Amino acid sequence: MKRSTWWLGLSMSLGVSSAQAASQEIRALFQPDPAHPNKNEFVNQTPDSGYCATYPDQCADHKMFSIQIPVRFNSNRALRAGDAIAPKAPSNWRRLTVTNRDTQETETVEVRIIGIGSDFTLSDTAANLVGVTDTLEGHQKLWTTSSWVYAPSPCQYSGVGAYTPRTYRFFWKTPVEAPCAKNAAYAIPAITFNTLDFTYELRTPNPLGMSSGLYTGSLAYSLGSGGDFDLGPLMSPDDGSVSLDFVLDVQHTLKVDLPPGGNKVTLEPAGGWQNWLDNGRKPTRFYRDQPYYLSASSRFKVTMQCDSLGGSECRMGSPTGRSTRVETRLTVPPGIVGPGGVDGWSGTLGTNLWIGPFQPTHYVDRKPGNLRFEIPRMYIDDLLKPGVNDTLTGHITIIWDSEV
């Protein structure tokens, strides 16, 4: 028997290219983890930028990360006392289709923005704008609900803020898709939000059910008043949209191992030859169970190749011209669902006939399965004719293939 090993790579990328749109690449990875075989999730691989790059401990405490987009929002007129700046993020789930570049298979990914932030620059120091000398007091009095570290409803606090005499940096959680208004308590001649920081959440397909390859798609968000990312009608962006380019890398495993010497199988009577020699009882079964060890994180199929006229029987022969037939029964480990939805499926293989798909319910890491090679009973009497000694051999190849 010959064993085959396949190492599979799956990547998924949502990409869009536009000369007028800002863009951001987002990466996530799936690798089967022997220590956590039931964890069938993508793991974020995108380096933090913006708020979480500066305050990693704050973001770790809140289990979030941030991405910074180089988009500026400028006030389109001077703010009067009572005017509002009202950040809003696209917090509802958005769906998009991604396509495998090689197989053209499609999957659905869902994305939502769950946090938004920036750092803004005032036309004068906050202290001067409100007529005080202390910088922090100036930022606190400039707005009717204190400084920007405190998120107005429905947004939520997510971590510390940072300030200088003219600037303030903030980041808020956005549990719902609605404006979170901050009202100016004093006149502000001009204000600029220098970047757009956000964090996101993904719903991805179960990677165990996806083929290997690079999946691509695109998702664009509008910027500005009435858009997906909106700071209110008083703030105008220098770009009209932002495109998220996702790269989801899935590295599947399909590996079959045999114990030492497992590629040479000797068929013997049930209970061994000694029972026949001692008691004269003709054997009724000739077989051998050969264990193997399977590691799999994606679906696969199995076939058998041998000297055969078709069907499930493979030929064994000798130089004297004698021959017999042998059948092969495959049993997969628990955690692998085979044809008919049977967990731990077992069945007889056919020559040049693919059986499958076999689908892991979780990452199966080096779990034992079995191959039983057995001579059908109809051939045993002819095989054991009195006075005949012979050795019959044959070759059987079992192929596990991830290309389902």
pLDDT (tens digit, 9 = 90+) per residue, 245-274?
A: 888 887 888 899 999 888 899 888 877 777
Report the largest interatomic distance among the alpha carbons of the chain, rounded to a whole angstrom. 116
Q: Which pLDDT does position 284 carry in this prediction?
A: 79
* C-alpha span between 178 and 260 (Å, rounded): 64
* C-alpha span between 60 and 74 (Å, rounded): 31
CB 177 within 8 A of CB 113: no
* C-alpha span between 155 and 124 (Å, rounded): 27
Q: Which pLDDT does position 48 carry in this prediction?
A: 87
Q: Which pLDDT does position 126 carry in this prediction?
A: 97
Q: Which CATH class is domain 258-401?
A: mainly beta
Only one residue has tokens 């968000």, namely 221
Task: Give the mean pLDDT of 76-98.
Answer: 96
* CATH 2.60.40 domain residues, the chain: 258-401
280-284 CB contacts, 8 Å cutoff, 24+ apart: 282/380, 282/381, 282/384, 283/380, 283/384, 284/377, 284/380
Band of the pLDDT at 20, cuts 50, 70, 90? Answer: low
Residue 13 pLDDT greater than 60, yes or no = no
> Phi and psi at residue 116, in whole multiples of 5°?
-145, 145
Residue 114, helix vs strand vs coil: strand
Q: Which pLDDT does position 280 carry in this prediction?
A: 65
Only one residue has tokens 């920007």, namely 148
Band of the pLDDT at 191, cuts 50, 70, 90? Answer: very high
Band of the pLDDT at 396, cuts 50, 70, 90? Answer: very high
Q: Which pLDDT does position 387 carry in this prediction?
A: 66
* C-alpha span between 389 and 299 (Å, rounded): 45
36-39 CB contacts, 8 Å cutoff, 24+ apart: 37/362, 37/363, 37/364, 37/365, 38/362, 38/363, 39/363
* C-alpha span between 296 and 333 (Å, rounded): 10
Q: Which pLDDT does position 24 carry in this prediction?
A: 87
Q: Which pLDDT does position 33 carry in this prediction?
A: 82
Percentage of the chain beyond pLDDT 70 is 92
pTM, rounded to two decimals: 0.74
The pairing of strands 6-14 and 213-217 is: parallel
Percentage of the chain beyond pLDDT 90 is 54
Residue 193 pLDDT greater than 70, yes or no = yes
Q: Which pLDDT does position 29 carry in this prediction?
A: 85
Cβ-proximal residues to 326 (8 Å cutoff; 6+ apart), any chain? 267, 313, 314, 316, 373, 374, 375, 394, 396
Compute the mean pLDDT over every residue in the chain, rounded to the nearest whole number.
87
More confidently predicted of 135 and 403: 135
